[in-house]
Amino acid sequence: MQVPTINDHRRHAAGPLSGLRVVEFLGLGPAPFGCMLLADFGAEIVSLRRPGSALPALVRNRDTVEVDLKDEDAREWVRDIIASADVLVEGYRPGVMERLGLGPDDVHAHESGLIYARMTGWGQTGPLAHTAGHDLNYIAVTGALHLATRAGETPVPPANLLGDFGGGAMYLVTSILAALHARGRTGQGAVLDVAIVDGTTYLTSMQHEYRADGRWSDAAGTNRLDTGAPYYDVYPCADGRFVAIGALEEPFFLALLDVLDLDPALAEGRENPAKWPRLRAAIGAAVRTRTRDEWARRAECSDACLSPVLDLSEAPRHSQVADRDVLLAADGAGHWTPRLPGGYAETPPRVSDLLQSWQVRIPSPEHVGESPSRTGE
């Protein structure tokens, strides 16, 4: 019998989280991304949003319902949903859920097994807990933004991938799964204080370890992994586009020299920072002799660790990306939807169907109304 993996290219009839019930108080950024990931793995999610609010990004694979949380009848209905759920996810500022009578203490008084996940930027405590912020602010104070700095230049924000989704959403999902595992042993739920600033700090573990060992400098752009080393950097080509070079180990660096038609003697002493300027000049001059796509073809299937820098419209045509089946054509205009090969419900269940299976009463329409959802973008 062949055992399928999460990354198996075949679609599975039911995801590994099939049967997991999640109530999502719909917000922005990391919490929707985390719930999208849970839904892609098969979780059943009822997403609640404010009446008349615009549908945010990252809600493509689940249905939503409009709920006026200022209405007591609506809140009572929400309590019924929570009573049938395994997980609650909310991304409001600290204190909002408590003022609604839906805070952890209110809920756990009746539902002790619930995993109550709170997703914020700064966390539930600390001097900045009640202030506004975005991805850029959170990664700035953790030192992570400083790592994306060339020597003598301004730090470059990595879009909102690092804080919102790396330090936020992935930390959220991991914490929820860990809490569910613990509940399986103890029967007890948990309150999860998930903060982007915490998760992003955790992502810097290797750099902190290297720094303690004397292998990482606080001077930007002087280390092996922050564009200090000439064999771990991005270079312009003859056509003005770019290739990324990550030939850190000696065998890979020798393969790179071969692809670039450079003298193998350049590998001697390549770990010595004093030799980096000369080596950088040689690599840069060589790369500028061909176009990006010429280099991509020349380096393909080699160990040179040279890759073309593609934009979002080009990525689906890359042979490796295409083979992994991670981009789903969304329409005829060249738009794509990233997906998990083992998941992604193209037609998510309606909220009314979920409520029926959860044995939750259907509310009166003046308090609650189903909303359209995105099934593919």
Reference 232, options 286, 298, 279, 290; nearest CA is: 279
Listing DSSP states for 48-114 in one string gives EE-TTPPP-SS-TTS-EEEE-TTSHHHHHHHHHHHHT-SEEEE-PPTTHHHHTT-SHHHHHTT-TT-
Does 134 qualify as catalytic in the annotation?
Answer: yes
CB 192 within 8 A of CB 136: no
CA 301 to CA 359: how far, in whole Å? 54
Does 213 qualify as catalytic in the annotation?
Answer: no
Helix axes 250-259 and 292-299, enclosed angle (nearest 10)? 120
CB 259 within 8 A of CB 235: no
Residues paired with 199 in a beta bridge: none
The answer for residues whose C-beta is within 8 angstroms of residue 256's C-beta and 6 or more apart is 231, 245, 247, 283, 304, 305, 306
H or E element: which one contains 186?
Answer: helix 170-186
Strand 242-246: give its sheet, edge to edge: 232-236, 242-246, 306-308
Q: Which of 164, 198, 226, 233 is catalytic?
A: 164
Reference 74, options 103, 102, 114; nearest CA is: 102
Between β-strands 327-329 and 336-338, what pairing exists: parallel, antiparallel or unpaired?
A: antiparallel
H or E element: which one contains 251?
Answer: helix 250-259
CB 375 within 8 A of CB 61: yes
Q: Which of 12, 134, 318, 335 is catalytic?
A: 134
CA 64 to CA 74: how far, in whole Å? 15
Determine if residue 297 is left, alpha or beta; phi over 0 gives left, psi from -120 to 50 gives alpha, anything else beta.
Answer: alpha
Question: In Å, what is the CA distance from 266 to each residue of 230, 233, 244, 290, 305?
Answer: 12, 17, 19, 20, 17
Active site residues: 134, 164
